[in-house]
Amino acid sequence: MADFLHLVILTISPVIINILELLGILIIVYGSIKAIIRLIKVGFSLNDPTAKIMLGETFAIALEFKLGAEIIKTVIVHTVNELIVLGVVVFLRIIMTYVIHWEVEQAGGAHVVERKKEQN
């Protein structure tokens, strides 16, 4: 029974990993297109942080999907070297996620302050 479950996990895991990776890529493409459209609407004004916020949020969501795929990859790792590489990739993606969240919060906060100044 354990061999059967192991075989099922080894068979299904790559499919799930590929689906999660593809979803991450599609989310990045979708968010990038939305950000480009926003930049076009504001005449490529870099003073409008909306595109940056949209893109950052999109990247954060996409990284979550890709991080999920990396976590599932730990199930099918065969060697210590693969595990080390996987650990480094997961670590880097976690750092990237935190940096993106921080940048989105900073841009969002600055955007709110600018709007309040404009209203006064």
Residues 68-105 have pLDDT tens digits of 898 888 888 888 888 888 889 889 888 988 888 888 88
3-state helix, strand, coil in the chain (%, to 5): 90, 0, 10
Q: By residue range, what is the domain housing residue 83?
A: 2-119
Beta-carbon count within 10 A of 62 CB: 23
Going 93 to 97 to 100 to 102, the CA torsion angle's sign is negative
Indicate the pTM of the whole model.
Answer: 0.71
What's the CA gap between 24 and 72, in Å, rounded? 15
- pLDDT above 90 coverage of the chain, percent: 26
The domain tally of the chain equals 1
